[in-house]
Chains A and B, each alone.
Chain A
Amino acid sequence: MASGDTFSPRERDELDRAVRVAGEFSGLSFSAYVGEPDGDFRSYAEHLHAALPNAARSVLVAVDPRGRQLEIVTGKEARRVLSDADCQLVILGMQSAFAGGDLVGGLVTGIQQLGEHARQPPTVHTDEP
């Protein structure tokens, strides 16, 4: 993997942890992509999401720092627990963090919030009458 000098090891670690924790929290598979799109950013993000393993249960957060764009793409099953309105709410928070110059902090907070929104309380006593 050609690692650029854009993220420090610590920031990388924070992002990895955020993705992992959000996944454990919600049972979905989270991914974050930071880079430039090839064409329209939304369709590019959807392409990337579709190429993910287990795309139906995946949530992709894609950020284009140069073009100042961000997208959240949810798969078919992920969308059931993570509505588009939830995603829009998270987008708002990330936008303000990015506008303040905090790329990593905005990403980490956004991924955490997505994980929390997608969290489903465990269903108990379903096997009892």
Chain B
Amino acid sequence: MGTVSFVKNAQGMVGRAVRRALVLGAATGLAMTAMVSAAGAATPDSWEKEDPMPMIEVLGIYAGIPLAMFGLITLLVFTPSLIRGSGSRPGGSWQAESEWFGARPASDSTGGEESTSGAKASLEAPSNPTQGGAGGQW
């Protein structure tokens, strides 16, 4: 019994809601139509008439500016990586002279043959027990 009355009640509520929505929609539609017809009125004759924009100008504004922005943004995005270049990658691609950062051997050479011979001359034993560290490969 309770469920039946609840269902009926619910149906009544739904019906009321639908009716209210219909009324609201109709009112809104009417108002919109009225506004549209008002906006559709021609410009007053007292206003001075302007010539239509030249096609060049229209194209410039609606196509030229977006294209220019497109180009500018593309340029901004790609410029840093273009400047940076391909960079240095480990393995295989090492073409250049050896490089030092920080303090370098006293022979003041950039490495290669001379520095090697200098370093070897200054140290006769291949392994120095006072040196520590670690090594590895990748």
User: Which positions in A face B, CB cutoff 8 Å?
Assistant: 1-8, 10-12, 15-16, 18-20, 23, 29-36, 38, 41-54, 56, 58-60, 65-76, 78-79, 82-84, 87-88, 90-92, 94-96, 98-99, 101, 103-104
Give the complex CA separation of A51 and B100 in angstroms: 13
Is there an interface contact between B128 and A50, defined as CB atoms closer than 8 Å?
yes
Give the complex CA separation of A78 and B134 in angstroms: 13
Q: Which among B100, B118, B132, B136 is the interface contact of A74 at CB below 8 angstroms?
A: B132
Residue of B whose beta carbon sits closest to that of A14? B101
Main secondary structure of the interface of B (DSSP, over half): loop
Residue of A whose beta carbon sits closest to that of B135? A71
Residue of B whose beta carbon sits closest to that of A33? B100
Please indicate which of the listed interface residues B85, B105, B113, B116 has the most CB atoms of chain A within 10 Å of its own CB: B105
Is there an interface contact between B105 and A52, defined as CB atoms closer than 8 Å?
yes
Is there an interface contact between A49 and B90, defined as CB atoms closer than 8 Å?
no
Closest 4 CB pairs of A and B: A35-B98, A4-B96, A19-B102, A51-B105
Q: With A19-B102, A35-B97, A47-B116 in contact, is A69–B137 under 8 Å at CB?
A: yes
Residues of A within 8 A of B79 (CB): none
Give the complex CA separation of A55 and B6 in angstroms: 93
Q: With A46-B126, A46-B127, A65-B88 in contact, is A31–B103 under 8 Å at CB?
A: yes
Is there an interface contact between B132 and A84, defined as CB atoms closer than 8 Å?
yes
Interface string of B101-138 (1 = CB under 8 A from A): 11111110011110110111011001110111111111
Interface residue tally for chain B (C-beta within 8 Å): 46
Residues of A within 8 A of B106 (CB): 51-53
Q: With A34-B98, A50-B122 in contact, is A101–B90 under 8 Å at CB?
A: yes
Whether, in the assembled complex, B92 has its beta carbon less than 8 Å from a beta carbon of chain A, the answer is yes
Is there an interface contact between A51 and B89, defined as CB atoms closer than 8 Å?
no
Residues of B within 8 A of A42 (CB): 135
**Min distance, Cβ A102 to any Cβ of chain B, angstroms:** 8
Is there an interface contact between B90 and A51, defined as CB atoms closer than 8 Å?
no
Please indicate which of the listed interface residues A10, A65, A75 has the most CB atoms of chain B within 10 Å of its own CB: A65
Residue of B whose beta carbon sits closest to that of A83? B132
Give the complex CA separation of A41 and B135 in angstroms: 9
Q: With A51-B115, A65-B94 in contact, is A33–B99 under 8 Å at CB?
A: yes
Residues of B within 8 A of A68 (CB): 90-91, 137-138
**Min distance, Cβ A49 to any Cβ of chain B, angstroms:** 6
Residues of A within 8 A of B107 (CB): 51
